[in-house]
Structure 1
Amino acid sequence: MAVRTRKAIASPDLASVSGVAPLSAASGILGVRVFDVGQGDAIAILAKVGGTEQVALQLDYGGRERNPFTTNADVDTRMPVSQNRLLMLTHWDEDHWSSAPKGSQAKGARWVVPRQVTSPRAVRFSASLNDIHCIPEKHVGQTIRFTAGNGDYILAEKIGSFPGAFAKNEDCNKSGVALAIVHRSSNGDEAILLPGDAPFDKVAPFVRLEKQGVRLRAIIAFHHGAGTNWTASTDKLLQNWSRAPILDVVFSCSRPNSYSHPDDGRYKALLPGANFHMTADLRTNAAVSRDILF
């Protein structure tokens, strides 16, 4: 198989991860907003700030195949990003950042990204951003925690090293960032999983949350619901995970797409009674996004 041309993200490291504080003004986490971007991911983490709903962190800003944008201005209208908002990438596959060069707002955000070997196009885009920093490699495999005033928290972890074993032809899914958000409650803590394209069982914070008895409130299906990289450990993790009274599973992909996503039968067999959603279905009602709230 031919080796693709690959280059490394050259942006500087964060001086200090502690300087990233998306929940510093938040009294709590409300949930997530999953945008219809066609084939790809774009998710806003919603928080309560001063009695109002605000976006604390934008996770990914993608959308390539069959995206809903008729003009570049549509990107800003459908997925607004305020100046200096934190925008974090799970990884550098293009369907997770490709809307940013089209609009004008996301380019003014503060970007925190994994250092990866990726496409020359991604490297050129990263070099065009004025405020972009990589998660230092010393944090690989170490969970980073951001906490709101009421104890709700975000967990983030870079799950693989740079340049890693696949430096020449790197699979960015294996060295990206995965997140979970947790709502604290006297009735039992609940989690929403935001894995990017990484399999659930490969994300150490997810495994720990299950063992700690944190109930599963929602899943954004990894890799847009793909059946690849699904293992017996994935089955076991989801089968054993205690569930919140309502469980939502969201597939962020277009209909149709060239990847045969999602392989939703796996999820439906493992999670009977859950609510299953596909972002492409939002267009039936001219909706832009779906909110999954605690």
Structure 2
Amino acid sequence: MLDQAEISDDGSVVLMFGTVGGDWLQAQLASAVPVPLDPAGSTQFYASMPLYLLEVRYDLVDVTAIGGPTSFGTSIEGALLGLEGTWVRIALADGGRPAALFDNLFGPAIDVGVVSIEPAAPDAGQFLNSLDPLDPVTGVADATEQEIENALRSSSTLDEIAVYDVGQGSANGLISNQEVVCYFDFGGGAAPNTFTFPPALTSFCQCNSPPIILSHWDHDHWSSEGRDTRVHTQTWIVPRQTSNSTKRAPHHSSLIKAIQAAGGSILVWPFGLSTKRIGQLEISLCTGSSKNTSGLSLEVHPPTGVTGLPVLMPADAGYDDLRVIPASGQHDAILCPHHGGRSNSPSIPQPPSGSYQRLIYSYGPKNTYKHPLFNTYDPHHLADWFDNRTGVTKPTPPPHIVRNTEDRTSKGLGHVGFDWTTSASTSALACGADLDIQQK
């Protein structure tokens, strides 16, 4: 199943597939033995699945030709949506299109060749769909609004936000009294971008067993659970993202089962609930149809008694995929969509007037996707989010308005903090000196 697709400024497309070994799959189909339903047997079954990530690069025209001219759509958008929602069979052999295979999230690449990508046989697709713990019919039921509220009630009074330097990925701490009380995403550099994860980051703040709000099911937004498995015992609030056009790759199923086996909770965002305000947190279901654009976005409102505007955290959704398309002057800070990559953002909201507004980019240095893209950061610069990387001088620009997690200090970290104040001082999290906030 297509797990991620990144389109570069040069028009090339990097496809990342979440895959399961073909020999294992054929053995399961031949045996016709049902998947164990008891917790112990089910956990062992999912842990034994031979999972891989496969990355291959195509030109735009080649993507629309995958599987034949009508298999997945004749436009790039149609082809990618079709690949997100369809199980495919990928044949590997010497002499095929160069690709990289990873047998775990953080291991080295194995050089392989892709000979063909074709729709999987119906029985294979049906079996693999049955393994999804979030299947809308047989999987985890929707949470209630009350369950969502209960899980976040103690996390909804905040004074600071941290955008952590986790390399090419996203992990954000919502902070009260210098301790993380909730995470919005818990990802980081993985597979071909594992090298972007900073070695200096050796621990995450977990003293409050903070819940995790997962924006969507891209692995670079949850993969740091493999670096700190304590989060398996915590509460995860997740979008279902199961439809004809959006499903999960098998390693997502393995993660869900690991959380359940450890005693953690999976709260699936309720069907039909567009927006929920809990204290300073306002969570919304995005309106798009792809994995990037159909997950959860977050607005964090300033504390009571503090003059300020919300912070917008859209994850990989574009501005036009949000429940309410942001207008100019409505947010003191924005976490730029999709790490500064391609997104559905035909117009860029401008910052309000003032001296403390921030546009924040979360990405890894020298990442393979070349984020942030010029076609993203230049329009933001022209919309008055001043960015000195453009080399374009604007009249009396507000100083230093853009922050990047890539910009690491001598400590080897580039975390970015925001707290609705005009202070430029450095603050640090109480739980772990490794999570210093280097930039305000």
| CA displacement, residues 145-164 of structure 1 (integer Å, 9 cap, x when unaligned) | 011xxxxx111011248xx5
What's the secondary structure of 1:249's corresponding residue?
strand
Structure 1 match to 2:356 = 246
Matched, 1:137 2:246: no
- RMSD of aligned Cα (Å): 2.7
Distance 2:404 2:238 in 1: 26
Distance 1:67 1:186 in 2: 39
Please list every run of 5 or more consecutive structure 2 residues that lacks an aligned counterpart in the other structure.
Answer: 1-65, 68-82, 88-127, 242-246, 387-397, 421-440
Deviation at 1:177, TM superposition (A): 0.4
What's the secondary structure of 1:24's corresponding residue?
helix
**Which of 184, 202, 209 is the aligned partner of 2:321?**
202
**Which of 81, 85, 107 is the aligned partner of 2:232?**
107
Matched, 1:190 2:324: no
Distance 1:100 1:132 in 2: 14
Distance 1:132 1:225 in 2: 29
8 Å contact kept, 2:183–2:212: yes
8 Å contact kept, 2:181–2:210: yes
Matched, 1:224 2:349: no
TM-score, with normalisation over the residues of structure 2? 0.54
| CA displacement, residues 93-120 of structure 1 (integer Å, 9 cap, x when unaligned) | 0110111023222212111101121211
8 Å contact kept, 1:113–1:134: yes
Alignment of 1:104-183 (within 5 A): 104-116=229-241, 117-130=247-260, 131-139=265-273, 142-147=274-279, 153-160=280-287, 171-183=290-302
Deviation at 1:260, TM superposition (A): 1.9
Deviation at 1:143, TM superposition (A): 1.0
8 Å contact kept, 1:58–1:88: yes
Distance 2:411 2:227 in 1: 25
Letter of the aligned partner of 1:37 in structure 2?
A: V
Aligned length: 262
8 Å contact kept, 1:154–1:179: yes
**Which of 372, 383, 398 is the aligned partner of 1:270?**
383
| CA displacement, residues 48-91 of structure 1 (integer Å, 9 cap, x when unaligned) | xxxx3332210111112134355xxx87x432224642101000
- Relative to structure 1, the CA distance from residue 18 to residue 256 in structure 2 (aligned partners, 3 Å threshold; closer, same or farther) is same
Deviation at 1:26, TM superposition (A): 6.4
Structure 2 match to 1:42 = 171
Matched, 1:29 2:158: yes
Deviation at 1:44, TM superposition (A): 0.7
Structure 2 match to 1:13 = 141
Query: Which has the higher mean CA deviation after the structures are superposed, 9-18 or 84-93?
Result: 9-18
8 Å contact kept, 1:78–1:288: no
- Relative to structure 1, the CA distance from residue 275 to residue 285 in structure 2 (aligned partners, 3 Å threshold; closer, same or farther) is farther
Distance 1:13 1:248 in 2: 38
8 Å contact kept, 1:101–1:107: no
Distance 2:413 2:320 in 1: 32
What's the secondary structure of 1:127's corresponding residue?
helix
8 Å contact kept, 2:174–2:182: yes
Distance 2:285 2:204 in 1: 25
Matched, 1:78 2:203: yes
Q: Which has the larger radius of gyration?
A: 2
Distance 1:185 1:128 in 2: 38
Distance 2:275 2:325 in 1: 11
User: Structure 1 vs Structure 2: percent identity of aligned residues?
Assistant: 22
Please list every run of 5 or more consecutive structure 1 residues that lacks an aligned counterpart in the other structure.
Answer: 148-152, 165-170
TM-score, with normalisation over the residues of structure 1? 0.78
Distance 2:232 2:208 in 1: 9
What's the secondary structure of 1:267's corresponding residue?
helix
Structure 1 match to 2:436 = none
Deviation at 1:184, TM superposition (A): 5.2
| CA displacement, residues 155-211 of structure 1 (integer Å, 9 cap, x when unaligned) | 1011248xx5xxxxxx3112100001011566744111110101123212453xx48
Structure 2 match to 1:280 = 406
Letter of the aligned partner of 1:159 in structure 2?
A: C
Structure of higher RCO (CA pairs closer than 8 Å, 6+ residues apart): 1
